Chain A
Amino acid sequence: MIEKIVEVEKLSKIFLFTRSLKEIILGKTEQGVRAVDDISFSIQKGEDLGVVGESGCGKTTLGKLLVRVYKPTSGRIFFKERDISKLKGKKLKDYRKKTQMIFQNPYTAINPRFTMYDFVAEPLLIHNIGKNEKERKEMVFEMLNKVGLNPPKEFSGKYAHQLSGGERQRAVVARALILRPEFIVADEPASMLDVSLRAGILNLLKQLADELDLTVMYISHDLSLIRYLCNIIIVVYLGKFLEIGDTREVINNPLHPYTQALVAAVPVPDPNFKYQKVKIKGAVPTVPQEPSPGCIFVDRCPYVKSICKEEPPPQVKIDGGHIVYCHLYRGGREIK
């Protein structure tokens, strides 16, 4: 049986702006950025899910909501059929044992005064795992070994500044995995690393996910990287999902105009590659918009119709789990 590990229902996160005293007195309504806007999806056990989008599209916020760094404004998150969206205190702490996040920047994720041993062992202390120092030491050494920081004995005494970027990111991975979580959110796990080291971290994550039976949600702006790592891809734009589907299917046959543009814009390491024309213009709007009744992509869409401004796009299921949120596909794939 396929087990749903995470299920999200109408999840939203709105970051409110602070109003000035004058605005409060005048009764101005609160406004905010809709970073994650009314989305629903589920992740199956063992699935590698990739969330792709440009900067400011809400992909990191989504990740932080799932590991409950942020509290949702509305909507619910189920982890193994248990609602975790409103957990507090001890229960929240217990939940965090099962889910961990790998952060983007290994240069700022490590406390410079911690040795690698302290850094990797800290989660064990927080959750009171391991009977004594000796047992914890064994666990830390085993994990350092797993992420390729060999020999562990030598690395455990080192500080962050003594490590290279690649080694730091390995330490960050070790810390995230030491609690043996079931679900991991990896936020741009390789973007801060040099090209020749990137592949090392990506392959390590892939291999550990298999070995430890992990479910991983990758967050990245890089479509080629998502293609390499994930079997399911979600395209996000301004807090909304635009397209979901099997990674190869979405990349080879993108349906949403935005996905088509993304795919066409990615540079390919091949000078003879024939690029498709990118039809959309401009950049992601940075000014938060009033929630509009229509499609979120309406301002940049080259195929915009009047209905797009009036009604939210329908969820259109194509085939094999390929889903697109767009008026153009109302009657299925053919109509455009």
Chain B
Amino acid sequence: MSLLHIENLKTYYRTSKGLVQAVDGVSIDVRKGEIVGLAGESGCGKTTVLNSIVRVLQKNAEIKGGRIFYNGRNLLELNEKKMQKIRWKEISVIPQSAMDALDPVMRIENQFIMVAKTDERNKPRKKISERAEELFSLVGLNKSRLKEYPHQFSGGMKQRAIIALSLFFAPNMILMDEPVTALDVIVQNQILNYIKKLQHSMDISILIVTHDISVLAKICDHIYIMYGGKIMEVAGTNELFNNPLHPYTIGLQKSFPHLFGSERKLISIPGYPPSLLDPPPGCRFEGRCPFAIPECRRENPQMEKAKDGHYVACYLYQKIGKLREKAFLGVSN
């Protein structure tokens, strides 16, 4: 059974120009002990999905529909007070640019105390410190550094400190928003290995949001590809990379340079994502898709099962093999 089951989630933003349909009917499953990746470009709504799960949305955002089951309970039915008990303890979040998420004028240890006191006002300081020290050694930081301020830490160390903080109540699930984006490759590699270790040793489920599919290739069990507020394709990591069916997924893969692979020309996907203010009735990728047929413009394709565990929202997925050979040859730009 899934630990987290999101069903047809719709989160819209109210703006002066109208409703922005940032997340429009997204369904995601995360099983226990699994690392799931959610990939997409900026503005595709991937961060809004995360924020909707723990309900830390901006004021003008509204969850218009859908259900979010965590351990069988619908989180959207819980009131704020009950939700408070879920955050940190059951599901913790590592926000985007987590390195700036630490309070610069507070010692790291005190930030642990702040987190601890969300649960229990009078929790003895000593206990908190012990737990903090335990977590610090777990993420490979020296416990003496708990007394330091964030500016005395390097980027990678801050990222580790944030991960330690998110583990304080031993949650079952961590949501990570671009956890390694601002880091140098060697540090990035350390953090990724560490995340993988967490999954194995503590059986934690992790949902990672990022634009970098090579990071996902390295650590995820399943990958969701998101575009323009909708999920385009879902598959196990191997299946998705070896047998991508959605034109957008294929385009994404072709736009990444590979350090060792063949030296083919990189492909850029011409055009830009549609405005989510008044999205087209058809497929959201239609305007940039090299294979689009008239049907794509009329109606949005539904998620279809292509294979066990491989779902895709595209009218043409059965023919994609042939189309792929033809189309991406000679497309430059």
Contact = CB atoms under 8 A, between A and B. Distances in A.
A8 interface: no
Interface in A219-246: 221-225, 227-228
Interface of B: 41-42, 154-157, 184-190, 192, 211-215, 217-218, 237-238, 241, 251-261, 263, 265-270, 272, 332-333
A199 B214 contact: no
Contacts of A171: none
Contacts of A195: 41, 211-213, 252, 255-256
A87 interface: no
A267 B192 contact: yes
Interface string A259-270: 001111111111
Interface residues of A, number: 44
B41 A278 contact: no
Interface string A264-284: 111111111101001011011
B186 A261 contact: yes
A128 interface: no
A270 B238 CA distance: 8
A289 interface: no
Contact of B189 (A222, A269, A270, A278): A278
A262 B187 CA distance: 10
A203 B266 contact: yes
9 contacts: A199-B266, A223-B259, A267-B188, A267-B189, A268-B258, A268-B259, A269-B213, A270-B258, A273-B217
Contacts of A164: 272
A21 B183 CA distance: 37
Interface string A41-73: 000000000000011000000000000000000
B185 A262 contact: yes
A273 B268 CA distance: 24
Given A195-B41, A268-B214, A268-B259, A203 B268 contact: yes
Contact of A271 (B156, B217, B260): B217
Contact of A283 (B42, B186, B237, B258): B186
A225 B258 CA distance: 8
A264 B192 CA distance: 13
Contacts of A316: none
A269 B217 CA distance: 6
B267 A199 contact: yes
B186 A280 contact: yes
Interface of A: 54-55, 148, 164, 166, 194-203, 221-225, 227-228, 251-252, 261-273, 275, 278, 280-281, 283-284, 286
A54 B266 CA distance: 24
A195 B265 CA distance: 15
Contact of A267 (B217, B261, B265, B266): B217
* Residue in A252, A272, A281, A283 whose Cβ sees the most chain B Cβ within 10 Å: A283
B253 A198 contact: no
B214 A283 contact: no
B332 A203 contact: yes
A283 B155 contact: yes
B186 A278 contact: yes
Given A203-B266, A270-B241, A284 B214 contact: no
Contact of A196 (B212, B217, B251, B258): B251
B259 A199 contact: no
* Residue in A269, A272, A286 whose Cβ sees the most chain B Cβ within 10 Å: A269
A273 B187 CA distance: 19
Given A269-B241, A272-B238, 5 more contacts: A54-B184, A203-B268, A223-B259, A264-B189, A268-B214
A154 to B, nearest CB: 16
A286 B241 contact: no
A222 B332 CA distance: 22
Nearest to A200: B268
Nearest to A258: B186
Nearest to B221: A271
Contacts of A251: 259-260
B233 to A, nearest CB: 15
A153 to B, nearest CB: 21
Nearest to A251: B259
B268 A197 contact: yes
B252 A196 contact: yes
A196 B257 contact: no
Nearest to A194: B41
Nearest to B237: A271
